[in-house]
A and B are shown apart, each in its own frame.
Chain A
Amino acid sequence: MSEVATRPTRRPTRKDEAWRYSAVEALEGVDLDVWREVAVPPGESWSETIVIEDGADTASTELRRLRIDVGEGARCAIFAIAASGEFARIEIEVRMGRGAHFEMGGITVGGRDTVREFVTRVVHAEPEATSNQTVRSVHWGKGTGNFLGSIDVVRDAQKTDASQDFKGLLLDRGASVNAVPQLEIFADDVKCAHGATVGQLDETARYYMAARGIPPELSRRLLVQAFIGDALVGLSDDDTRERLMRVALDKLDKHL
């Protein structure tokens, strides 16, 4: 199995599993063949940050597609945030070599009627590889956040350890999140964990904070910061972590 994904030869529709919750109509005129291909040589490490934030050159549809081959014993870490664009999609396909590790932390934030999503496909093609994905989505207004994550473990990929963790935080009644984990496991000696929960701000905590003098906007900001912090625990670089956090919280403050 060398090719892990098929390029769309036609416009996707919502009938396509990987585009179920996407704003597919926003793809009109958008070049879909924008895959960036990366090979991480055996034993090496590669990390990348993807930031979709408000800026002069941010388009209304933002599509980032990344295909990574993680060689034997290599390490790959991606930390990403989708905080801008009417429709923003970060799509990552990973093929894991023997004993490789893939770490991903993803954040989506947004209000109005924006759609922001992560779509990942992690193929454990050889034994003993580990992968860990954590996505946190905070939405308000009529905003939507999605995490469609599939994990494929081929027949020979024994001792695979793969996990996927999603949490959504809805600040308004009209906001929504969708989590679609998809596990296809053909080996028997593997660990695969996935979890998905959706919640609202803890109003008891907010009252406790208010009782100590913290106004409502600030308690919301602190709780959101704590919530999305989960997606960045695997990120060792302080500057990058602060930058991603700032992009998320700036968006929250603007409440757009």
Chain B
Amino acid sequence: MLQIENLSAEIGGTKILDGLSLSVGAGEVHAIMGPNGAGKSTLAYVLGGRPGYEVTGGNVRFEGKDLLEMEPHERAAAGMFLGFQYPVEIPGVSNVQFLREALNAQRKHRGEEPLTGGEFLKLAKEKAALLKLDMDMLKRHVNVGFSGGEKKRAEMVQMGILDPSFAVLDETDSGLDIDSLRVVGDGINAIMRQPGKGVLLITHYQRLLQVVQPDYVHILSQGRIVKTGSADLAHQLEAEGYDKVMAA
């Protein structure tokens, strides 16, 4: 459902992605691992259309459409979800308001009727319960004063509510305690492990991959995919480190 071909991208004139190719089929979970600074977050942002990330070559097709042609909000409405490595705080806007506006904007874009306040709250409660996040957290302003782990959990509640067909999750596991990691992993499985959906899971650790088991593991280094394997590749990386695995 997502085909990335020979993608190159720059930030402020510096080349970060350098001919990256990757294809994710429906029903698949792909993990991306790679050293700090390799370009993993850059890939996520390029897929999410973040301003300042300039595509200089290649193309990306998402469910048959040219993803790079779409505005960021159109990508979301088309079913693309980007989980942020560093979720953003929005003072003055509550999670409930934010997510209701987001969901209804997506629905409007797709020509669907908006949810009423009551319908939305029911959905929000259900997804907050799935991620074991207290409903009171959703009444607070978006990510303001949330701990690192709470932010990641809240992001997964967002994903549950918006119900995307494809998720790019950038280090959703970082900052989570052991129990939270399990809750978030189970949440990802419940929301995204469905026929017709796909996941690109960016992570440094093998622990999340024990809960959300990937069909493929890729190593991203210096802006491109340098190695692809099965879930075993993640074990091997954990045991031996990047230098050794990439040299092999």
* Interface residue ranges, A against B (CB under 8 Å): 202-205, 207-216, 218, 222-223, 225-227, 229-230
> Could you tell me the distance between the alpha carbons of A207 and B84 in the complex, rounded to whole angstroms?
11
Contact pick for B73, options A204, A216, A222, CB 8 Å: A216
Contacting pair B73 A215 (CB below 8 A):
yes
A211 contacts across to B, CB distance below 8 A: 48, 50, 72-73, 75-76, 81-82, 84
Contact pick for A213, options B51, B76, B88, CB 8 Å: B76
| A213/B109 contact (C-beta < 8 A), A208-B88, A226-B90 known | yes
Q: Closest CB-CB distance, B161 to chain A, in whole Å? A: 9
| A212/B102 contact (C-beta < 8 A), A207-B50, A207-B51, A207-B72 known | yes
In the complex, residue of chain A having the shortest beta-carbon distance to the beta carbon of B158: A212
Q: Is B101 an interface residue (CB 8 A)?
A: yes
Q: Is B71 an interface residue (CB 8 A)?
A: yes
> Could you tell me the distance between the alpha carbons of A213 and B49 in the complex, rounded to whole angstroms?
12
Once A and B bind, how many residue pairs between them come within 8 Å at the CB atom?
Answer: 75
Contacting pair A212 B91 (CB below 8 A):
no
Contacting pair A213 B106 (CB below 8 A):
yes
In the complex, residue of chain B having the shortest beta-carbon distance to the beta carbon of A210: B72
| A213/B73 contact (C-beta < 8 A), A222-B98, A226-B93, A229-B92 known | yes
Residue count of chain B within 8 Å CB distance of chain A: 32
Q: Is B202 an interface residue (CB 8 A)?
A: no
In the complex, residue of chain A having the shortest beta-carbon distance to the beta carbon of B88: A208
Q: Closest CB-CB distance, A253 to chain B, in whole Å? A: 15
Contacting pair B88 A204 (CB below 8 A):
yes
A211-B76, A215-B109 given; 14 more Cβ-contact pairs under 8 Å? A205-B88, A205-B89, A207-B51, A208-B84, A208-B87, A210-B72, A211-B75, A211-B82, A213-B73, A213-B102, A213-B162, A214-B101, A226-B90, A226-B92
A226 contacts across to B, CB distance below 8 A: 90-93
A213 contacts across to B, CB distance below 8 A: 73, 76-77, 102-103, 105-106, 109, 162
| A212/B48 contact (C-beta < 8 A), A204-B88, A226-B93, A229-B92 known | no
A to B CB contacts below 8 Å, 11 in the list: A205-B89, A205-B90, A207-B72, A208-B84, A208-B87, A209-B90, A209-B102, A210-B49, A211-B72, A215-B109, A226-B93
| A208/B106 contact (C-beta < 8 A), A213-B162, A218-B101 known | no
Of A211, A215, A222, A226, the most chain B CB neighbours within 10 A belong to A211
